[in-house]
Amino acid sequence: MDAVGGIEVAARIHAAFSGLGCWSPPCSSLVLSRVAQEAINASREVVDNPNEDVWRIDDLVIVLKNLVTAASMNSSAWVAWPHVALKISDGPWPATGILDMQTPRFL
């Protein structure tokens, strides 16, 4: 990210994956900015460095380690909530009108 927008993109990606039923491990987003990297470099030798908690490229190793740890979890331990499975028709998709996927209809 150059200045702004990186965290919003990360949030939207998390929201999209969550909507698809995917799980994101804690601290699995790393948003780096050029401005933050310059601030880190400028305050490197400062006592009580105000930029000590800013994401830096070296933190990528930690994020990847957390991702590998989460991916290696026993997936059979997860429990799915009750749901109606989507049935996809084998026939051709209609060119117009309602696409009936035989799912429950809600009012």
Residue 52 falls within a domain, yes or no?
yes
Residue 16 falls within a domain, yes or no?
yes
Residue 89 falls within a domain, yes or no?
no
Name the one residue in this structure whose structure tokens are 């150059």. Answer: 2
Higher pLDDT, residue 54 or 42 = 42
Buried b (16+ CB within 10 A) or exposed e, 31-68: eebeebeeebeeeeeeeeeebeebbeeeeeeeeeeeee
Residue 82 falls within a domain, yes or no?
no
| CB of 93 closer than 8 Å to CB of 99 | yes
Tally of domains in the chain: 1
Query: In the structure, what pLDDT confidence band is assigned to residue 104 with cuts at 50, 70 and 90?
Result: low
Residue 1 falls within a domain, yes or no?
no
Name the residue range of residue 13's domain: 6-77
Q: What is the pLDDT of residue 1?
A: 57
